Amino acid sequence: MIRLLRFKDLQARGIINNWPMLKRRIARDGFPQGRMIGPNHRAWIEEEVEKWIKSRPVAGPAPKGVAKRKGTPRNPADSTTEATA
């Protein structure tokens, strides 16, 4: 049996937050366009949405460098102060 997902269902699953985001996902990320089920009603087939989710990368790109902590010097040599006589 085909299960249809409405906009609120997509929001509940955390796929989208608003209509502009949905339009970007369709235009840029290959998200299914859905089907018009009425004059102003659109729905998505759950199987197509699940297939799209599985096609997405598991994680983003690897982080570059080491995370910096606030208040710590970038270079250990910066933290040493030499007394001048």
35 phi and psi angles, rounded to 5 deg:
-125, 140
Is residue 83 scored above 70 in pLDDT? no
pTM of the model: 0.65
* Secondary element (H or E) of residue 52: helix 46-55
If pLDDT is split at 50, 70 and 90, which confidence band does 80 have? low
Helix and strand totals (H; E) in the chain: 4, 3
Closest CA to 7 of 60, 51, 43, 55: 43
**In which residue are the tokens 């699953």 written?**
13
Q: How many CA atoms lie within 13 A of 20 on its CB side?
A: 0
Residue 74, pLDDT score: 62
78 contacts: CB under 8 Å, gap ≥ 6: none
pLDDT, tens digit (0-9, with 9 covering 90-100), for 67-78: 666 666 666 565
pLDDT, tens digit (0-9, with 9 covering 90-100), for 12-69: 999 999 999 999 999 999 999 999 999 999 999 999 999 999 998 887 777 777 666 6
Residue 71, pLDDT score: 66
